[in-house]
Structure 1
Amino acid sequence: MVTKIIEQPVTIWMANDIPARMVYAGHRWRVTDTPTRLRESIWSAVTDEHHRGLYGWRFQGTNEAGESMVFDVYRGEDGWHVHRAYD
């Protein structure tokens, strides 16, 4: 499994306050599992103040080509960001 730390902005659509779809790296992704809420503890390995107090989600997304990845996303002051992507 390859882990990429990305820190890239992303657009996420929610359904009942849970991620359902997103646009990332020029592709549309459908959430294809049950997302897991990530609390501040997931970001504790990050030492900079930019990530303190954040919350986010981990979920599998599948794009139109059938490629699936797992994403860790967080909501910052300026919107949603992909922190890590696993293939």
Structure 2
Amino acid sequence: MPQLQEYVEIWTDDAGSPRRLVWRTRRFRVTDRPTTLVGPAEWWAPFGDHDVSPGRAPLAITGWRFQASTDDGETHVFDVADDDGRWRLLRVFD
């Protein structure tokens, strides 16, 4: 599935979990427990070619997946990632 090239506005709670989202001028509220998306930690990139047996490269939160709904009932599952201080929309599932 191709990644989208859209940015969205996201409001988070004190722990950094998404709570609200504005996408294409529509306001959504997060209606489930957000799931973290993880990937190799950025600081690990210079060591990426090294063998880390028997473990794996250190992981970091790279984004979030959550369900969100508008007041009139439009609901989607969103994948988002922090892109240098802006939230990039990765995928939308209907």
- Matching residue of 1:20: 19
Of all paired residues, the percent bearing the same amino acid is: 38
Q: Compute the TM-score of the two structures, normalised by the length of structure 2.
A: 0.70
1:4·1:86 contact (CA, 8 Å) conserved in 2?
A: no
Q: What residue is the counterpart of 2:46 in the other structure? A: none
Give unpaired runs (5+ residues) of structure 1.
42-52
| Alpha-carbon separation, structure 1, partners of 2:9 and 2:74 | 18
2:37–2:65 contact (8 Å) kept in structure 1: yes
Amino acid at match of 1:15: D
Count of residues in correspondence between the two structures: 74
TM-score by length of 1: 0.75
In terms of Rg, which structure is larger? 2
Residue matched to 1:8: 6
- Deviating above 2 A after TM superposition, structure 1's stretches of 4 or more consecutive aligned residues are 3-7
Flag the structure with higher strand content: 1
Where do 5+ consecutive residues of structure 2 fail to align? 41-59
Of 65, 69, 75, the match for 2:76: 69
